[in-house]
Chains A and B, each alone.
Chain A
């Protein structure tokens, strides 16, 4: 069953007088439970694709359907609700609210969703344990390493059982060892909780983790490889 369907997405940006064609017609289908890497050189359009799938950027043309919701029929407000309930984001950096502890950062999303205080606490701790942060619940982001911060971000993304998690270069700010262990963790979550992950990277080593690699070049899909294994 396809959880993400993007059809012929086009996007250009006007920067000063220059027109940049960030996406020139991208179509992609992603099924529930996939672990997909968006690859490609800098400027190829990875971030733009993820943002459009995540509903924080609008395509100029084309359609995006996530978990049965067609974005072109939706108001900004409905899109925000969809993001809150169905989409998890992990960015390259600055993922966390600095004044909240790890646990509170994870709880915050559930608070917005209206989950009760007791359940919030229980779920937040359980998921932090899952991503390998047991005992670091009350640390502020500044008291966590870069890798640990990214783990909190993944925990926050997973905790509300979203349809997809979009991670834009989640390992870019980490050294390779920390990056690998983050990906191991993501993969474990993908396997155990059947969450769909779509992440971008230009690091070949990181790509190795993916079961499927969508390669972008100049705003178009160059190839789409599903590894059997």
Chain B
């Protein structure tokens, strides 16, 4: 009967109840949707950032970060390979690269770029390159003269698949090496800059061009779980001579991205607070109005022998009903709107071109995590219940005598 009473009471003034429910629905919905959206956005930023030749962990010659030249390559990678064999967890994938700055030209154009010698099979598993060939074909392991270029560079150079590019770079002996490579395929990247920055040839092709026997510039590792990254990096550091080698995680390599992640989380919290303050005021105001409209009734209940606590409880029961209705509806709405965008994502193009700047994809796919949903619901429920305590408390302070004199 207590529940019945509360249930009927909340429908005495349906309009007011709807106002509170809407506040809760909007709060829950926006929080659920926003956390899913920002998660998607972050994931896309991270994926894009990491997949452009970063990965989760990288190993370089210690001097490479300051001077990324061929002189600072790791000339005896066998030791490192042995260490990685022992330390990498299940599911980890790694690839090796030779990376040098180069000068690329054809008959009419020329520009500076980064030439990357890759192991085509491993590279495919790790970086964006495997999924990004839009024209022509990917490199074959044995291809000594093939090259992959970005779409933007191809257009800038006004060239096409099958045509040649001249690559010039300083080789291991300090001499200038120069050789023609044939364009095998064209890759697309999320960012135009990436398409202009990198050129890919095979590892063997690179060794030949640069007169490099065993050396490599970097090892890039991708793990299958984010929480393992720091731990694994620490373990590798433990076993390698850190005077010679630098072991870095994506957070070290992409400090901007790390900052974005933090700023983003900060924004989310601010949004939570804004939503909650608005919702909280809505709830307190409307419930107080409801309480003051029913002064006579609360006075009557006290006269009949109710103590303050049962009065608080009955008002709280009403608030909790309203909260629950709002939370359920808000979750459904949040879930539906995430579902609607699951397949096609949210195309940020409608907000203009600027988003590329942040290193995220044009299309964001929201990611709904159980943890976020639970968080949102618990926060709204508990804070909602807490702010409802105030009107409930006010109701319990109404005495029969003052109620009757109204």
* B404, A84: Cβ atoms closer than 8 Å: no
* A84, B300: Cβ atoms closer than 8 Å: no
* A91, B306: Cβ atoms closer than 8 Å: no
Contact with B along A166-209 (1 / 0, CB 8 A): 00000000000000000000000000000000000000000000
For residue A51, which residues in chain B have a CB less than 8 angstroms away from its CB?
A: 400-401
8 Å CB contact of A57 from B8, B297, B300, B401: B401
* A81, B305: Cβ atoms closer than 8 Å: yes
> For chain B, what secondary structure do more than half of its interface residues adopt (helix, strand, loop), or is it mixed?
helix
CA distance A111 to B310 in the complex (A): 12
Binding site for A on B (CB under 8 A): 1-2, 4-5, 8-9, 12, 296-297, 300-307, 310, 399-401, 404
CA distance A86 to B109 in the complex (A): 103
For residue A77, which residues in chain B have a CB less than 8 angstroms away from its CB?
A: 307
Least CB distance, A157 to chain B, in whole angstroms: 9
CA distance A112 to B2 in the complex (A): 10
For residue B296, which residues in chain A have a CB less than 8 angstroms away from its CB?
A: 94
CA distance A81 to B309 in the complex (A): 13
Known: A77-B307, A112-B306. A99 touches B9 (CB 8 A): yes
Q: Does any Cβ of B come within 8 Å of A56's Cβ? A: yes
* A89, B303: Cβ atoms closer than 8 Å: yes
* A83, B12: Cβ atoms closer than 8 Å: no
* B401, A97: Cβ atoms closer than 8 Å: no
**Extra contacts besides A97-B5, A107-B1 (12): CB < 8 Å:** A51-B400, A54-B303, A83-B303, A84-B305, A94-B296, A94-B300, A97-B301, A98-B12, A104-B4, A108-B1, A108-B5, A109-B304
CA distance A57 to B301 in the complex (A): 15
For residue B400, which residues in chain A have a CB less than 8 angstroms away from its CB?
A: 51, 56-57
- Looking across the interface, which residue of chain A has its beta carbon closest to that of B405? A47
Least CB distance, A123 to chain B, in whole angstroms: 15
- Looking across the interface, which residue of chain B has its beta carbon closest to that of A47? B404
- Looking across the interface, which residue of chain B has its beta carbon closest to that of A160? B305
CA distance A154 to B306 in the complex (A): 18
For residue A3, which residues in chain B have a CB less than 8 angstroms away from its CB?
A: none
* B306, A56: Cβ atoms closer than 8 Å: no
Q: Does any Cβ of B come within 8 Å of A65's Cβ? A: no
Q: Does any Cβ of B come within 8 Å of A95's Cβ? A: yes
CA distance A94 to B293 in the complex (A): 13
For residue A108, which residues in chain B have a CB less than 8 angstroms away from its CB?
A: 1, 5, 304
Contacting B at CB under 8 A, from A72-99, are 76-77, 80-85, 87, 89, 91, 94-95, 97-99
Q: Identify 11 residue pairs between A and B in the complex whose beta-carbon atoms are under 8 Å apart, listed by A's number.
A: A47-B404, A51-B401, A76-B307, A81-B305, A83-B303, A84-B305, A91-B300, A98-B297, A99-B8, A107-B1, A112-B304
